[in-house]
Amino acid sequence: MLETGTKAPDFELPDQDGQMHKLSEYRGKKVILYFYPKDNTPGCTKQACGYSERMPQFMEKGAVILGISKDSVASHKKFVEKYGLAFTLLADPERKVIEAYDVWKEKKNYGKVAMGVVRTTYLIDEEGTIVKANDKVKAADDPKKMLGEI
């Protein structure tokens, strides 16, 4: 996990519609950048729907929400359409951004050890600096918690 006070690494990734997004394009706005393991899984769905439901409050506070996983553009498109998500999901199948933000880690699941995305949320300020970093994310609570952090 990257430390608070550090510059958030810039990146360019495609969204669920194949349009490219750069983090630097969001300068002047707060950015909730959250990394999650997989589209259409119970925890990830709760987290995504929670952010989507609170989108008007995030917008009132001048914040943008970007979700990143290693799923494909096509997978993100289905996920967004299935749940009517109101924010941008970015596809990082090569894990370039996932690794740049230090969220690709060894995980234990039912005694098995495997590499995967550790659910992590960053709050990036208007100048592109990480002001909050959380890798102890409870999927269902994260959207409400981050709304309170802004």
Catalytic residues: 44
**Residue whose structure tokens are 């289905």:** 78
Question: The tokens of 136 are what?
Answer: 């102890």
